[in-house]
Structure 1
Amino acid sequence: MEDEHIQIDDLSAQLGSLLKCPLPSAFYAVFDGHGGPDAAAYIKRNAMRLFFEDADLPQASDIDDVFLEELENSHRRAFQLADLALADECTVSSSSGTTALTALILGRLLLIANAGDCRAVLCRKGEAVEMSEDHSPTSLPERTRVEELGGYFRDGYLNGDLSVTRALGDWYMKLPFGSSSPLIAEPDVQHVILTEEDEFLIIGCDGIWDVMSSKDAVSLVRRGLRRHDDPQQCARELVNEALRLETTDNVTVIVICFSSPDHSKPLPSQRRRFRCCSLSEESRNKLRSLLGGN
C-alpha cells in the first residue's frame, strides 16, 4: 500500500495564526505513491509546512480576483517546494515518487490542485463535474508536452517507466537540476465558488478511476447519501465497488459533503441545505451563514 491521504476538517484549528484568512476552512489530499511508499509518506508528514507555511498562503478577508490569483500561485509554489524537498530528503530514494491532489475549502471557495492521475469530481445537481485533469500518457496535451521536451512513450509508460506524466519526486528522471525534464511537478489548478447546487466532492486515486467513471462514482455516492447521509460510508462503498470491479491498484477515496438530502421528497426536487459533513459544527454554522449572505 503506497497511498496516503489527509483529512483536516477544520484547517484554522490546525494552523492557528498561520492561516491568515478568517473564512471557515478545510483541507483534503490524496497521494498515490510509486517506487515505494516513502515519497507519499514524506509529503503527508510535512504537508502543513509545505502547503501553508513555506508556500506563503495569501491573506484576505474576502475572495476576489487578486486573492484567487495569489492563492493559485501559492499552491503551485507548494507543489514545487514539495518536489524539491523530496530531492533533498536523504530518507527518500530518487526512484520514489507520488502523485498529489489537494482540495482546499475557504468559505464557499473550493480550490483543487493536481499533479498526476488522481481525480476530483464535484456533484452539481446530480451531474458529475470533473475538477482535475488526468496527467497520463492517454492525455493528448500531456503527450504533446512530453514529446516537445524530448520524452517518449513505450507501452503506455513515460520513457518506458512511469504511467503518469506529472508527479512529485522521481528525481532519477529529473536530474540534473535545471534540465527540462518531461516529468514535472507543476499542478493544474481549478477553482469554483460553491452554491447550494453543489452537493459533494469525491477525491480519489486512480485505483477508483481505472474501473469506474466519474458519472458512476457520483451516482453511487448520491444513492448512498440518500439512504444513510454518511460520507464515510459512501467512501467505503466506493472502495468496495472498485474491488468488486477488480481494480488492480491501491484504492484511496474521500467524500466531502456540502449538502444533506431531504429524504421526504423525491431526489430531483429535494431541498438542500449547505453543510460540509466533515467540518466542525461551528464551521458548518459559519458556512451556512456565508451562503445565506449573512
Structure 2
Amino acid sequence: MGAFLDKPKTEKHSAHGEGNGLRYGLSSMQGWRVEMEDAHTAVVGLPHGLTDWSFFAVYDGHAGSRVANYCSGHLLEHILSGGADFGSGPCSVEGVKDGIRSGFLNIDEYMRSFADLRQGLDRSGSTAVCVLLSPTHLYFINCGDSRAVLSRDAKVGFSTQDHKPCNPREKERIQNAGGSVMIQRVNGSLAVSRALGDYDYKCVDGKGPTEQLVSPEPEVCVLERAAEGDEFVVLACDGIWDVMSNEELCEFVRSRLMVCDDLEKVCNSVVDTCLHKGSRDNMSVVLVCLPGAPKISEEAVKKEEELDKFLETRVEELLGNCGEAGVPDLVSVLRSIASENIPNLPPGGGLASKRSVIEAMYNKLNPHREEEGQKWIKTYETVNNVE
C-alpha cells in the first residue's frame, strides 16, 4: 500500500533525552515512501504526580498521517485518564492495564468524531507500540504490527506479537464480523488486524469496538524490571522489522552501544542500515537504554576502527587496480567487497551497516565520478547476508 519515490528521502528526524535513570534516542526517515506517515512519543516524567514514570511510543500510519500524528500528541493523556487511579496513590498492575486499554478505546472513539474521518475524507489509521515504565514494571503495549523488544541479559528477553489478519485469533474475529482474510489482509486490503483509526473497518452493526474487522484494543504485557539484567528497549515500525529480526536488531544495537554512547547516532545507524538492507517503508526507531545497558568497550572501539580502516583500504585498492577497465562504479565496489570474507562486521548489521564508510571513501577517491555512481541502485541483495 502506498507509492514510492525515484530515490529515498534520507533526511532524518533525531532526538535524545534522559531522566528517571534512563537515556533515550530516536530517529525516523521517510525513505522510499512518497509521504512520511510515522510518528512517535517520548516523555520522561509523567503528569498526575508520576514524575518517576516514562512513556515511549512509535506509530506507523497508513493511508495518511492524520491518526498517527494525533495519537503521538494525545494517546498518553487518554491512557492517564483512562480509568486507572493514576496519581491517587500506588497504582496496581491491573489498574494500569485497565487504564491503558480504556485509553486506546477512548482515543479511537474520540477521533471518530473528527469531521474528515467521520465523513470518509481521511481514511487513515495507525499502529501503536508503546512502553510505559514505572519504577518497578515495564508495560509493553501493542496494537498492530509495529514491535517492541527488550534486551535482557544480552539476549532478547521479550518481544510483542504482531497483530496480523492470518493469526488464528485475529482471523476468527474478522470472520465473526462478516469479513474475510485474503492475501493475508483484511478483506484483501488492510495488512493489520488491530489499529487506531481505519473506521471503514469499524462499522459492523451489532458488534462492539473490540469485535470489529479491525480492533483498537491493545495487547498489554507486564514484566517486572530487573535492575541489572535489563539493558534496553527498542520500539520500531515494520519498516525496521521487515529487514531485521528481533535477534539481529538487538545484537546490532548492543554492538553499537559498545562503540558509541550517542543514542541519536545509534538510532541513525539502525535506520541507515535498514535502508541499505532494502527497506522500502518509512522507518522509525526509539531506543530506551536502562541502567544495565552495554557501556563503551575499548576493545570494541579498537576493532571498529580497524574494520573501518580495512574497508577504506579495500576501496582504495579496488579503485587503484582498475587499469584499462576504468574506475568501477560504487555498486561494483560494494559487490566486490561483499564477496569477501570480512571479519568483525557488526552482528545483525553486516556490510550494510558499513555502506557509509565505503561510500565516503569511494567519493573521496573518485570526486569526478559519473552520475551513475551516485544513483540509488538496489545493492542490498548483495550485501544483506554478508556477516
- 1:176 deviates by 4.7
**Secondary structure of 1:28 counterpart:** strand
What residue in structure 2 maps to residue 191 of structure 1? 222
Structure-2 change in CA distance of 1:131 and 1:264 (3 Å): closer
User: Alpha-carbon deviations, 1:131-189, whole Å to 9, x = none?
Assistant: 31100134333223323433211222111110000001111111156524221011100
**Secondary structure of 1:121 counterpart:** strand
- C-alpha distance in structure 1 between counterparts of 2:152 and 2:299, whole Å: 17
- C-alpha distance in structure 1 between counterparts of 2:299 and 2:164, whole Å: 39
**Secondary structure of 1:252 counterpart:** strand
- C-alpha distance in structure 1 between counterparts of 2:159 and 2:286, whole Å: 14
What residue in structure 2 maps to residue 36 of structure 1? 64
The CA RMSD measured in Å over matched residues stands at: 2.2
What residue in structure 2 maps to residue 253 of structure 1? 285
Paired letter, 1:88: S
1:85 to 110, 117, 122: 110
Whether the 8 Å CA contact 1:35–1:97 is kept in 2: the answer is: yes
Paired letter, 1:102: C
2:73 to 45, 66, 83: 45
Matches within 5 A, 1:32-181: 32-59=60-87, 62=90, 67-92=92-117, 93=121, 95-176=123-204, 178-179=206-207, 180-181=211-212
User: Alpha-carbon deviations, 1:66-121, whole Å to 9, x = none?
Assistant: x0001001000011011101211124345211111121111131101111001010
After TM superposition, what 4+ stretches of structure 1 lie above 6 angstroms from structure 2? Answer: none
Paired letter, 1:202: V
**215-224 vs 232-241, which moves further:** 232-241
What residue in structure 1 maps to residue 311 of structure 2? none
Whether the 8 Å CA contact 2:43–2:54 is kept in 1: the answer is: yes
Whether the 8 Å CA contact 1:83–1:168 is kept in 2: the answer is: yes
- C-alpha distance in structure 2 between counterparts of 1:138 and 1:247, whole Å: 23
Paired letter, 2:93: L
**Secondary structure of 2:273 counterpart:** helix
Name the larger-Rg structure: 2
Consecutive unaligned residues in structure 2, runs of 5 or more: 1-35, 301-387
What residue in structure 1 maps to residue 361 of structure 2? none
- 1:246 deviates by 1.0
- C-alpha distance in structure 2 between counterparts of 1:156 and 1:122, whole Å: 28
Whether the 8 Å CA contact 2:82–2:98 is kept in 1: the answer is: no
- C-alpha distance in structure 1 between counterparts of 2:262 and 2:154, whole Å: 17
Q: Does 1:203 align with 2:235?
A: yes
Whether the 8 Å CA contact 1:119–1:204 is kept in 2: the answer is: yes
**Secondary structure of 2:234 counterpart:** strand
Whether the 8 Å CA contact 1:55–1:81 is kept in 2: the answer is: no
Paired letter, 2:114: E
1:220 to 252, 272, 278: 252
What residue in structure 2 maps to residue 277 of structure 1? none
- C-alpha distance in structure 1 between counterparts of 2:114 and 2:299, whole Å: 54
What residue in structure 2 maps to residue 5 of structure 1? 40
**Secondary structure of 2:112 counterpart:** helix
User: Alpha-carbon deviations, 1:30-66, whole Å to 9, x = none?
Assistant: 1111111111111123234312135444346556xxx
- C-alpha distance in structure 2 between counterparts of 1:112 and 1:175, whole Å: 28
Consecutive unaligned residues in structure 1, runs of 5 or more: 268-294
